[in-house]
Amino acid sequence: MDYRKLGQEITELVGKKENIARLTHCATRLRFELHDISKAETEKLKALPGVITVVNNGGQYQVVVGNEVQQVYRVITQQMGSATRSADSKSNSGKNNGPKQKQSWISRFISVISTTFTPVIPAIIGAGMIKAILAVLVLTGLVTTESQNYYILNTIADAAFYFMPILLAYGASIKFETSPILAMTVAGVLLHPGWSALMAEGKDVFFIGVPVRLTDYAGSVLPIIIVVWLMSYIERFADRVSPSMIKFFTKPMIVLLITAPLALVAIGPFGTYLNDLVAMGAEAINARASWLIPLLMGTLQPFLIVTGTAWAMTPIATSQLTKNGYEMINGPGMLASNIAQGGATLAVALKTKNQKLKQLAASSGFTAVLGITEPSLYGVTLKLKKPLIAAMIGGGVAGIYAGLTGLVRYAFVSPGLAALPAFIGSNPMNIVHAIVTCMIAFIVTFALTWIIGFEDPVEDEEEGTTNVNDDKTLSGQPVQDNSPSTQSSTITNANVPSQNELRPLTIASPMQGELVHLDRVPDDVFSLGLLGKGAAIIPAKGELYAPIAGEVTAFMDSKHAVKLNGYDGEEVLIHIGVDTVNLKGRHFDSSIKVGDRVQRGDLLIRFDIDAIKAEGYEVITPIIIANSDRFSDIKLEKQNPVEVGATIIHLS
């Protein structure tokens, strides 16, 4: 591949080097921050030979090029000259010096909400599932609402929502690049029992003569996000004015002395007012047209996911759950949409004659009806278009029913068949309406997809060929093709092994943990196989070992990803976690370097699972056969717990 040409073309199509505010890279993709994203020509970029796909997510414009990312990165940085911003180029204050990407206020708001809520999601989903289990226990009579067991379980489930400001303070501190501990401390001030005692007394409260509005911040969302945003500026001010010799003492003191009173006197009440105003608006719409919000969510949810705007409604939904014990903003419409995605995808699985599409649609359709729709959306319906239209219609129809019947969600979980207990609550008919909503969404969408059909990809055109004897490679060497149609271009090479010399290869497990399919990885570039086939492991221990004998051909400075080229021609890419390039090497330790030769079972990298998770990152680790197209068959061992060295992948 001509990396120089590819780098020049990518630079041109992202709007020339003048449009690049910052460029970093991870193991497979170039991560651009652009001044004006509208100048990027996405479709032309996707069509470039050497570009796998383009992802615009989280304020970054990502161009996925696979294993050659470092070579292409070097070409582009050479073209940019002094404008280059490397993965570690930060000032002493930890802030980026480069110009910021121009974004609309809506994009900035969604980016803030997304980054703030991402680390919090496991806590509120876990709490939501406990709520759902508790609802089932009460419904079946195994637990009564007056029992101590109910009280304790309910307290566990409520904790994540009550202390929501503290959880959100952590996520907001990551977004605004300020101290997480100080941000969480300020959130603790808002929830302190002393503040609750003042509220209980009901007396007027003043601070240095300024009246303080008594507000209950338990479960609130917007106040703490605004407070942490302001705190990021106060911390920079404190850093500048504090003498270096005593900065350790004075900086946190100044931050807390200024931020906490401002939060109690002004910012908190203002944020609460905004929070209540938005919630009142949503409830007013629901009171006058109860079908409208579920209709819009059921119809437009796929569009919201693709554009990254699905997060916009999350603050309202969590606020409703905290105050009312239920919400009608996200849950009902998302339930209709998710089931509709599953219906459309499973219809494709039954109707298509393309075996690869059938397999993908069957697996992703099943996960969609359970509540996880990204594999279905990106892998099937978005590509085929007509099934996506059918899913939006089916989701909208079911959304209307959900709205008219007053369907609500009692717990924060991803709506689907697996989460139906989250719709069990004080209204016994609510779960019935949820089930009917699922049936309408599935039946309408499945029927529409079957009737309007779709353009079924021809297998030979989509995959090039499925014939094992075509010009593929085994064990990294070309295989001679003697079929009549290709004899004129037969490869003759004295080093080509004869058929009886070809032997299967195996990939060993590089870590201890749970072996799962790639579709479990919450990153479409891996889960959809855009970089190659393979498997994934949810690690139980923070150690990565060599799965093959070979040479280290790529190793990230951030130490989260490594590529090995085996002596038998196999190329294996291992990527610890998702988006862990952002950690810039924190919590990873390794002494390997490019060019090192390793044996199967050699220790390559150590990493701290708990610390990585604490910073809000997944640790699920894809193991990719980067040259999958050179093997006629790639088989994954049965999913189960694996030890280091156990065979997980067979290559023919």
Which of the residues are catalytic? 26, 575
Instruction: Give CA–CA dist 459/471, Å, rounded.
Output: 16
Token pair for residue 606? 């150590």
Q: Is 498 exposed, middle or buried (0-12, 13-18, 19+ CB in 10 A)?
A: exposed
Residue pair 322/436 in contact by the 8 Å Cβ criterion: no
570: left (phi over 0), alpha (psi -120 to 50) or beta: beta
> What is the signed CA dihedral for 480, 483, 487, 490, rounded to 10 degrees?
-10
* Contacts of residue 401, Cβ cutoff 8 Å, sequence gap at least 6: 336, 433, 436, 437, 440
Residue pair 446/348 in contact by the 8 Å Cβ criterion: no
For 24, 68, 73, 238, the CA distances from 557, given in Å and listed in that order, are 11, 15, 13, 32
Instruction: Give CA–CA dist 406/294, Å, rounded.
Output: 10
For residues 573-583, one letter each, b for 16 or more C-beta atoms within 10 angstroms of the residue's C-beta and e for the rest, the string is bbbbbbbbbbb
For 367, 386, 441, the CA distances from 447, given in Å and listed in that order, are 20, 12, 10
- Residue 555 pairs in a beta bridge with 562
Residue pair 64/51 in contact by the 8 Å Cβ criterion: yes
Token pair for residue 14? 């992202």
* Contacts of residue 34, Cβ cutoff 8 Å, sequence gap at least 6: 14, 15, 19, 20, 21, 40, 61, 101, 102
Dihedral sign from CA coordinates of 567, 568, 569, 575: negative
Instruction: Give CA–CA dist 561/281, Å, rounded.
Output: 47
To which residue do tokens 């996506």 refer?
388
Instruction: Give CA–CA dist 434/432, Å, rounded.
Output: 5
DSSP secondary structure, 352-413, as one string: ---HHHHHHHHHHHHHHHHT--HHHIIIIIHHHSHHHHHHHHHHHHHHHHHHHTT--BSS-S
Helices (H), 479-601: 524-527
First and final C-alpha spacing in the chain: 26
Give the DSSP H/E element, type plus range, for residue 604: strand 603-607
> What is the signed CA dihedral for 361, 364, 366, 368, rounded to 10 degrees?
-120
DSSP secondary structure, 22-71, as one string: EEEE-SSEEEEEESBGGG--HHHHHHSTT--EEEEETTEEEEE-GGGHHH
Instruction: Give CA–CA dist 377/525, Å, rounded.
Output: 13
Residue pair 624/526 in contact by the 8 Å Cβ criterion: yes
Residue pair 333/294 in contact by the 8 Å Cβ criterion: yes
Q: Which amino acid is at 238?
A: A
- Residue 373 pairs in a beta bridge with none
